[in-house]
Structure 1
Amino acid sequence: MQERPKRVSAGGGVERPNLARLFDYYLGGAHNFAVDREFAERSIKFFAADDAARTTRSFLRRAVHLCATAGIRQFLDLGSGIPTAGNVHEVVERVDPSCRVVYVDNDAATVAHGRTMLRTSTTAAVVHADVRDPDAVLNAPETARLLDLDEPVAVVMVGILPYLSDDDRPADVVAKYREAVVPGSRLVVSHLTADLEPEMMGKLVHLGTLAGTTLTPRGEAAVAELFTGFDVLAPGVVPAGTWHQDGEDTSPSSCLSYGAVGVRLP
């Protein structure tokens, strides 16, 4: 039997639910506490939040697998949360064990969990930084050690951009990362939207508020704008649950986010 990963104690971090630990719980991970599990179970009854989490993770796996099979060997996962089962490094290493992954998160407890999980890895690491500060992300020692910015990189922004307000100018944040990577690099994005299931999205935004965060869903045009300077691969900006999915997924949770992958233009 595989050894259960050790839990990391984060002073003051167990009194209220933590979004990264909630996501970990929804996906069947072990890096969560009683306060997270209690909140998660209530949210599942209220909203089927676990279905939404699995849809997001499934899109992530399909998208990064596509990037890896296209020859990308470097991955920068922004706002990654806890690298629980089925995360980027596990997916891409099945394509090529030499693939290198840098996870980025701004929550100290989440970073501590991730570093414990990856403590023996030579090809994956976690950076403690805010995705809104590309200089801090790209100049971090872990980034410099693992990523060669003169070679193509897949910039992964799955689920993180709704945490940026309009005042944060998310399209400008994405543009800074675009300018930091070479042509041929990939951009992987999923983004919450109220376009298709507004009632369910209202419940999700409410859950975010209860967990102490503000979520900003955006429409299709705003998500498409994030890909300025990229050639968006087929099938374009579509519901994340249907992107490169075998068969038709018509569940409501498949329509809570748009998903797309683009290739950096010269």
Structure 2
Amino acid sequence: MNERDIWVPGNVDANTPSAARVYDYLLGGGHNFDSDRQLAEKLLTVLPARDMARLNREFLRRVVLEMAALGIRQFIDLGSGIPTVGNVHEVVHAVHPDARVVYVDYEMVAAVHSELMLAEEPNAAMVHADMRQPEQVLRHEKTQRLIDFSEPVGMLMVGVVQFIADEDDPWALAAQYRDAIPDGSYFALSAFTTDNAPAGMAAAIEVFKNSQDPIYPRSREEILRMFDGYTLLDPGLVYTPQWRPQQPELADSTAEASRSNLYAGLGIKG
């Protein structure tokens, strides 16, 4: 059995690009197909997609460490994608080895590879489910085993809500997940926006149109609504590199922010 046989499920559609595999390619991963790479290369002609992916991944690391510093020891990562270096459990286990993490994704390659990677990891698991079905996610046996909903939870929707159409009501989905977690829980989100590069985002919508995951970038006001019921922590909803950067001088860097094209924030419930 070769490496490809291990990570490619027999019924996966390799000819239709998926967002999870495109993201994997942009981050330098190897769990993608020609169709994903072709879409990613088209995307790179209209947006600085590698910078967007890198800056989003750096935000994920910083926000997980921030939640860990605030006392969070259990996390649900919705739309987690294909595991690459710097996944949530790797980040948090570096400071709290007993922290528990549930990953959620409906993409088959993401689910299979995550299950392989986590086979010997008792404090993390992959739930193969669609985040648009909160009851299925929250009542899943793995979620119930690892997450104690009487204690604060770190809920993550990082780089995923742009794949949820208005008709699927991402605002209602965010509210359903919010209502499932207790006061003192945190909600981290990042999402594509049309605000910074409207022409590029319009072109990106066309690039993704025939993929498994069309995109729906939104304005700052639309994204901010997903934090209803939370109090945003400083610095509020900002571009990913402006959210508590490790190099403070980047917080005011227009050039760095212009490559992001994702808003990001962290809120506390209650």
Matches within 5 A, 1:128-143: 128-143=128-143
1:192 and 1:258 in contact (8 A); partners too: yes
Q: State yes or no: 1:145 paired with 2:145.
A: yes
Q: Deviation of residue 227 (structure 1)? A: 1.2
Q: Deviation of residue 165 (structure 1)? A: 1.4
Q: How many corresponding residue pairs? A: 262
Q: TM-score, normalised by structure 1?
A: 0.91
Equivalent residue, structure 1, for 2:23: 23
Q: Deviation of residue 123 (structure 1)? A: 1.1
**Identity among equivalent pairs (%):** 40
Matches within 5 A, 1:238-257: 238-245=238-245, 246=247, 247-248=249-250, 249=253, 250-251=255-256, 252-254=258-260, 256-257=261-262
Q: CA distance change for structure 1 residues 229 and 30 in 2, over 3 Å: closer, same or farther? A: same
Q: Deviation of residue 46 (structure 1)? A: 4.6
2:105 and 2:127 in contact (8 A); partners too: yes
Q: TM-score, normalised by structure 2?
A: 0.90
Equivalent residue, structure 1, for 2:183: 183
Q: Which runs of 5 or more residues in structure 1 are unaligned? A: none
Equivalent residue, structure 2, for 1:58: 58
Matches within 5 A, 1:174-213: 174-213=174-213
Secondary structure of 1:226 counterpart:
helix
Runs of 4+ in 1 over 6 A off after TM superposition: none
RMSD (Å), alpha carbons: 2.0
1:237 and 1:258 in contact (8 A); partners too: yes
Cα deviation 1:201-254 (Å, max 9, x = unaligned)? 223222222434321111122222111111100000111221111222423222
Give the AA of the match of 1:16: T
Equivalent residue, structure 1, for 2:263: 258
Output the CA distance in 1 between the equivalents of 2:77 and 2:48.
Answer: 25
Give the AA of the match of 1:264: K
1:115 and 1:125 in contact (8 A); partners too: yes
Q: Which runs of 5 or more residues in structure 2 are unaligned? A: none
Matches within 5 A, 1:1-266: 6-245=6-245, 246=247, 247-248=249-250, 249=253, 250-251=255-256, 252-254=258-260, 256-265=261-270
Give the AA of the match of 2:171: A
